[in-house]
Structure 1
Amino acid sequence: MPAGLRAMLARDPDEPHRAASSLELLFDLVFVVAVSQASGALHHIWEEQHFVEGLASYAMVFFAIFNAWMNFTWFGSAYDTDDWLYRLTVFVQMAGALVIAAGAQRAMLENDFGAIVAGYVIMRVAMATQWTRAAISDPEFRGTCVRYAVGIVIVQVLWVSWFVLDGPVWWFPVLALIDLSVSPIAERHKMTAYHHHHIAERYSLFTLIVLGESILAVANSIIGGLTDAHARTGLIVVAACSLATVASMWWIYFDRPQHHQTMTFGRSFFWGYLHYFIFAAAAAFSAGVEVAVADHLGESHLPHLAAGLTLTIPLAVFLLATWLVLDSVRRDAVQAIGTIVLTVALVGTAYLPNAPLGAAVIMIAAAALVSWRHATADRLATL
């Protein structure tokens, strides 16, 4: 074996005190740029009143961000050797993420997905080389690793073909489903030895990243309030309400440990894949905050209802998705009914004169509901 390299064998899934590495944290910071570009472009598209087109293009760009991040995260949990070749390959993946970030606005505003496809292919081909290396080193999981490597390469050929042939938009969800099927097909051969606590931590850190986009939008509203005396009061209210909403989103997501969600084959995929809606909705909320800021500065041309919906629909998706992904397995009828009622109420707050205030009140109520039901479940478990 070349000097400085380690055999890429599966790590111990019960390794004590396993935490995210500094390289993984750096990797996530690169994705901050991509998420920021996508949410910023969504704000511009919404301001131009292209709501359906905006959501469709945002969903497509965010898929590239999410799926590339997710595959690296699960692989790293099982095979992070932290040697020089592993690090260099991860840096190549970071370069691909930056290409995606650079092309996000062009894809969403001009429907040019060239950079998105290029960046995605860079990241995924680098990922295939990691799986190939694991297949060579680890005979126990060789079948799984080979399936990953071959599947990833085949799907990249399909993505490049879609772009080169200028395929119709409806090809995208079909190719996305094919792409997403690589992992379950490979894992059915033999599940990789990922670390449950490590995976939960990695998803939690990415949640903080997308919530950070909303914090940035809140900061922008405060800055606007300091420089515009006429809109100061309104912007401060938007900032306060948005901060309360972000705090509620954090509370709802982090109120319970999540490592047990990845203990079984089916549940781990359900939990891992459906986080797409949690992440995408949280990042889209920041675009809604930007719309609210622009409205108070007199820079928005959106009707009041439309502006409110850009804020409340992402929150409704986040609330429903977090319940579905994190809590529906407990079959708590009170929380289920309460979540549905609050989700509908969230959308309805767009009709209020002050949508950010109404949304903040509903989200605080949702956080209280989650906390109450978890405390009740814990109390019953001790009886």
Structure 2
Amino acid sequence: MKDLRYFDPQRRATWLELFFALIFVVALHGANEILTEAHEGHIGAQQFLRFVLVFLPLWWIWAGHTIYANRFDTDSRQHRLSTLLIMFLLIVISAQISAGAQHYTLAVACYCGARLIIASMYFVSRRKHNLHGRFASTVGTVFAVGAAISLSSVLLASPWSYLVFYAGIVFDMTALVLLGGRLHVVPAHAAHLVERVGLLTIIMLGESVISISAALANIVWTRSNAAAAVSGFVMVSAIWWIYYDSFHLLERRKLATGHSILYSHFFLFIGLAILASLIRHAILDDLDPGDFRRMAAAGTVLFFLGKQYGYYMEVPELRPYLLSNTAAVFAMTALMLMLPLGLGAMLGGIAATMICYVLLNLRYRHLVRPRQEAA
């Protein structure tokens, strides 16, 4: 037990975990490309669904490792080597995204390999929390069974192969929720889990800034694309403010399983990816306004739902303010998207609604700061 970082009162995310977050975002780049390709000015529902389905297994590898490291990380050589191998498999998977179904078997094998490595890490760690070894063995077994289900998909033809592959992921997620009572024996390390998701979020925000730079490369500058670039950066800055201004409130909470934070960030990350792609499309002005509106609505809703759910579950005193502030932002976004505006103007409107949320947050800061200082 003495080697577990879980019991370190000054625990912080390790450099390896930061490296993992960087590799995850690099691997995610191929998935994000799906949303940047407008076919004759359109991004259809099928294209958006493909993005989500590609994103899900990549995120679940990161989430599975985060769940393990949160409770069992010793920063040992074995842990480092296993983590580095998982990171390499993530890179291989991302390289197969553009190939589509052609390299499906290789991508599935790498995904299942990463999941089985995480499962084996649990089995090896079953004695680290002394009397709670059954907890590690149970989660390791769940991950191994989920990987076996997904791996069996290579024996089937499309579309059954895809259904079975994602059934393995759904099995993992559902089993962890149903086993929530057992997970309580080793509660999530709140400060570490919050820092892990915060690190990944800040790196994904950096990707949004990269999308601005990429869109501005080799274009003829005009007032419209310059305004779109400014609006995009203002929006990213406002998102940073919204996300991190009250982030410290979660660090001192007892999160039990941590599912409210970890699972909700799946939707938050998808929302961030959508909003990042909108910046690029607004600068290039290459997307149908109707598709832009639908993507803007989806991105805004997913970001706020993903961000707010953790606070709603873990900081009950904020619930009235979370509900009223979110409803106000959704109403303003809907009103703005109904106006006959161009892409750049709509992006500016989204940035304005984000700024409005920052201002609305000032209403409840006096409720939480005194309690934090008292703690």
TM-score when normalising by structure 2: 0.86
Q: Which segments of 5 or more consecutive residues in structure 2 lack a partner in the other structure?
A: none
Once the two structures are superposed, residues 100-146 of structure 1 have per-residue CA deviations (whole angstroms, 9 ceiling, x without a partner) of 21123334xx6964444223212111101111110255542210111
**Offset, 1:46:** 6.5
Deviations 1:263-291 (A, max 9, x none): 1436x212221111011111221122222
Partner in structure 2 of residue 218 of structure 1: 212
Which of 9, 14, 17 lines up with 1:24 in the alignment?
A: 17
1:204 matched residue in structure 2 = 198
CA shift digits 1:55-108 (9 cap, x unpaired): 21111121112211112112112222222222111111111111221123334x
How does 1:293-372 map onto structure 2 within 5 Å?
293-295=283-285, 300=286, 302-327=287-312, 329-350=316-337, 351=339, 352-353=341-342, 354-372=345-363
Question: How many residues were matched structurally?
Answer: 364
Identity of aligned residues (%): 20
Instruction: Report the AA paired with residue 279 of structure 2.
Output: V
* Matching of residues 283-302 of structure 1 within 5 Å: 283-295=273-285, 300=286, 302=287
1:157 aligns with 2:148: yes
Q: For the structure 1 residues 262 and 40, does the alpha-carbon distance in structure 2 shift closer, same or farther, using more than 3 Å as the test? A: farther
Q: Secondary structure at 1:333's aligned position in 2?
A: helix
Code of the residue aligned with 2:37 in structure 1: it is: H
Query: Quick one: which amino acid aligns to residue 220 of structure 2?
Result: D
Q: Is 1:274 aligned to residue 264 of structure 2? A: yes
CA contact (8 A) 1:221 1:236 kept: no
Counterpart secondary structure, 2:201 = helix
Paired residues of 2:329 and 2:357 also in contact (CA < 8 A) = yes
Q: Which residue of 2 aligns with 1:86?
A: 79
CA distance in 2, matches of 1:81, 1:321: 30
Matches within 5 A, 1:1-383: 11=4, 13-44=6-37, 49-107=42-100, 113-135=104-126, 138-166=129-157, 167=160, 169=162, 171=164, 174-185=167-178, 188-190=181-183, 191-192=185-186, 194-224=188-218, 227-229=219-221, 232-256=222-246, 257-260=248-251, 263-265=254-256, 268-295=258-285, 300=286, 302-327=287-312, 329-350=316-337, 351=339, 352-353=341-342, 354-378=345-369
Distance in 2 of aligned mates of 1:253 and 1:327: 14
CA RMSD of aligned residues (A): 2.8
Given that 1:342 and 1:366 are in contact with CA atoms closer than 8 Å, whether structure 2 keeps it comes out as yes
Q: Is the 8 A contact 1:313 1:347 kept in 2?
A: no
- Equivalent pair of 1:262/1:271 in contact (CA under 8 Å): no
Question: What does the per-residue CA deviation read over 1:154-189, in whole Å, with 9 as the maximum and x for residues that have no partner?
Answer: 111111122431316555654432121343455533
Instruction: Output the CA distance in 1 between the equivalents of 2:177 and 2:126.
Output: 17
Asked whether the equivalents of residues 99 and 118 of structure 1 are also in contact (C-alpha less than 8 Å), the reply is no
Rounded to whole Å, the distance in 2 between the matches of 1:96 and 1:339 is 38
Q: Unaligned 5+ residue runs, structure 1?
A: 1-7
CA distance in 2 between counterparts of 1:189 and 1:42 reads: 39
Secondary structure of 1:135's aligned partner: coil
Give the deviation of 1:379 after TM superposition. 6.0
Does the 8 Å contact 1:287/1:310 carry over to 2?
no
Question: Aligned pair in 2 of structure 1 residues 240, 79: CA closer, same or farther (>3 Å)?
Answer: same
Give the distance between the partners of 2:174 and 2:141, measured in 1 at CA: 13
CA contact (8 A) 1:159 1:175 kept: yes
Secondary structure of 1:372's counterpart equals coil
Structure 1 residue 250, shift from structure 2 partner: 0.9
How far apart are the structure 1 equivalents of 2:317 and 2:39?
A: 37
Q: Which 10-residue stretch deviates more, 336-345 or 58-67?
A: 336-345
Aligned equivalents of 2:244, 2:328: Cα separation in 1: 21
TM-score (norm: length of structure 1): 0.85
